[in-house]
Structure 1
Amino acid sequence: MSLTHILLITLAGVAAGTINTVVGSGTLITFPTLLAFGYPAVPANISNSVGLVAGGVSGSWGYRAEVSGARDRLRQFVPMSLLGGVTGALLLIWLPPSAFKKIVPTLILLGIVLVVIGPWLQKRAAQRHPEADAEMSRGRRIMLLAGVFAAGAYGGYFGAAQGVLLMGLMSAMLSDPLQRLNGIKNILSTVVNAVAAITFIIVSFHNVRWSVALLIAIGSLIGGFIGAKVGRKLPPWLLRAFIVVVGVIAIATML
């Protein structure tokens, strides 16, 4: 592996860690970088997932103040993300790449729409049921938990724009401050990446390119700290706008 090779993969990891912490979709930087260097798609995807766990940890740590009041949310969501991550990782190993390819852009578009109309949905829900957020109905809770599981399955399978889906889902159904939701998103995404990485290592060890995973881990660890500093300073409207822009770029890239 040449010095240029090492430097570019590490820098891609820094960029991915930064973007993942702010909104998600950092995989759209690292994954094409690995493909450009000639790594096959499945080993590139798996090695990328393993490496990005480090960035998720640093990004989540950077948002620790924002999520200090969200322990009840996390107790509900983390198990669903864990199960979803394992499911998605197994699907990547068992299913042909074309299985999810057609619906991924649709899922990202749905996430973008939810991010945009989230404030309107929250306001309408509050007008109809003022107590809805304090005591969420069983139906809404089931929908939200199912959505977190589905986002986790998608994240374990590929990962790009998982953050857009989570932010769209939570911002539409919860009235928590957007920065708190972003902190929750970072933790859930990290859980998904971690359990997916463990699943890959156990089930498909031969597909992990450890030198690549290490470089991405180093870069994303740095990027997670950078992303936390940047993301926490963004006002809600700008954070929503950034999520939409990244989501649109993700759709355009995949199409």
Structure 2
Amino acid sequence: MGSDILLFAGIGFMAQLVDGALGMAFGVITNALLLSFGISPAAASASVHAAKIAIGGASGLSHLAFRNVDGVLIRRLVVPGVIGGIVGALLLSWVPGEAIRPFVAVYLLLVGVLILRGAWKQRKAEKRSHPRRFTGLGLVGGFLDAVGGGGWGPIVTSTLVAGGMTPRFAIGSVNLAEFFVAVAISAVFFATIGLVHVETIIGLVLGGVLAAPLGAYLSKRVPGRLLMIAVAGGIILLSAHMIIHALPELWALS
């Protein structure tokens, strides 16, 4: 059990370092690895979101300390994100996450291209954008995050950045909002399947909490344009990977 905890601590540290700096990928990275170890989708998603409670809290506080958080955006993300997460967690028991992931992957690919294009046209002045069309973004992000075991960051952060919001404010706000979404999703999983794979959760928490401050610091210090390019590159690679792995499933359905 001790070696398992160290393994998952390493995974949690690496995943949260990326997530804290880019505002995405903790759930996607950890969930993909847990699934590759033979853990069921529901159990993997439950373990990841249970770990996100502690990690999301540490990451959110770190972003608050570095002033990367926008209060208006938080209020527009948390409530719909919690609702979407609860619905997604309840549906996961009978709606396979694999059936949704191909469509999410195509969307992310398009958003990644838009962000990469926007990185070259970025204005020098920082911008805190509060467009009304993002009000329902948390609902979709929370739902797909619960069903797919990850996706809150890639969907919500990428859409905000593509819409013109300064990357560090989008990243910090999304990280803090994710804490509340993770609490809601974990509560549903605990009520339906119980607490499973405790050693996995402990390891992810230990590694993720250690990486949270460093990720938040990198988010504040890395230049905005470079951060946008990194976000776009990560999304494009992630979505391409998801599409490639979804091709056999789509072929089978056809």
Shift of 1:218: 1.4
Segments of 4+ moved more than 4 angstroms: 117-123
Q: Distance in 1 between matches of 2:78 and 2:151?
A: 18
Counterparts of 2:114 and 2:57 in 1: how far apart (Å)?
26
Runs (5+) with no aligned partner, structure 2:
245-254
Residue number in structure 1 paired with 2:18: 19
- 1:61-76 equivalences under 5 Å are 61-64=61-64, 65-67=66-68, 70-76=70-76
Q: What is the one-letter code of the residue matched to 1:102?
A: P
Match among 158, 161, 165 for residue 171 of structure 1? 161
Q: 1:236 Cα shift?
A: 0.6
Query: Following TM superposition, by how much is the alpha carbon of 1:195 offset from its aligned partner in structure 2, in angstroms?
Result: 1.4
- Give CA deviations for 1:202-222 in whole Å, capped at 9, x if unaligned: 12216x222211211111111
Q: CA deviation at 1:100?
A: 0.9
Residues 1:155 and 1:252: Cα distance change in structure 2 (over 3 Å): same
Q: Which residue of 132, 137, 159 maps to 1:147?
A: 137
Q: Percent identity?
A: 23
Q: Is the CA contact 2:172–2:216 (under 8 Å) kept in the aligned structure 1?
A: no
- CA distance in 2 between counterparts of 1:159 and 1:42 reads 8
Q: Conserved in 2, the CA contact under 8 Å of 1:28 and 1:160? A: yes
SS in 2 for 1:93: coil
Q: Which residue of 2 aligns with 1:102?
A: 102
State the shift of 1:154 in Å: 1.2
Distance 1:103 1:228 in 2: 30
**Letter aligned with residue 246 of structure 1:** G
After TM superposition, list the pairs within 5 Å mapping 1:45-56 onto structure 2.
45-56=45-56
Counterpart residue type for residue 215 of structure 1: G
Task: Indicate yes or no: 2:228 matched with 1:235.
Answer: no
TM-score by length of structure 1 reads: 0.81
User: Is contact 2:11–2:30 with CA below 8 Å preserved after alignment?
Assistant: yes
**Counterpart Cα distance in 1 of 2:223 and 2:85:** 30
Question: How big is each residue's C-alpha offset from its partner over 1:39-98, in whole Å with a ceiling of 9 and x where there is no partner?
Answer: 333212221221122221111111114245x22222222111111211221222231233
TM-score normalised by structure 2 residue count: 0.82
Matches of 1:171 and 1:249 in 2, distance apart?
Answer: 17
The answer to whether the Cα contact below 8 Å between 1:115 and 1:171 also exists between their aligned partners in 2 is yes
Aligned-partner Cα distance in 2 for 1:180–1:174:
11
The question of whether the paired residues in 2 share the 8 Å contact of 1:119 and 1:171 is answered with no
Count of aligned residue pairs for this structure pair: 237
Contact 2:112 2:231 in 1 (8 A): yes
Report the more deviating stretch, 213-222 or 151-160.
Answer: 151-160
Distance 2:171 2:17 in 1: 13
CA 237–17 in structure 1, closer or farther in 2 if over 3 Å, else same: same
In structure 1, stretches of 5+ residues that fail to align are 124-132
Residues 13, 208 of structure 2: 8 Å contact kept: yes
CA distance in 2, matches of 1:174, 1:145: 15
**2:58 aligned partner:** 58
The answer (yes or no) to whether the contact 1:88–1:152 under 8 Å persists in 2 is yes
Which letter maps to 2:138?
V
The answer to whether the 8 Å contact 1:115/1:167 transfers is: no
Partner of 1:251: 239
Q: Amino acid of the residue matched to residue 66 of structure 1?
A: R
- Deviation for aligned residue 1:22: 1.6
RMSD of aligned residue pairs (Cα, Å): 2.6
Instruction: Please give the alpha-carbon distance, in whole angstroms, between the structure 1 residues aligned to 2:121 and 2:95.
Output: 36
**What's the counterpart of residue 249 of structure 2?**
none
Q: Is the 8 A contact 1:10 1:216 kept in 2?
A: yes
Q: Please name the residue that 1:130 is paired with.
A: none
Deviations 1:217-239 (A, max 9, x none): 11111121221122221111111
1:31 aligns to what SS in structure 2?
helix
> Aligned residue for 1:186?
175
Q: Find out whether 1:223 has 2:211 as its counterpart.
A: yes
Of 157, 160, 169 in structure 1, the residue corresponding to residue 147 of structure 2 is 157
Q: One-letter code of the match for 2:112?
A: I
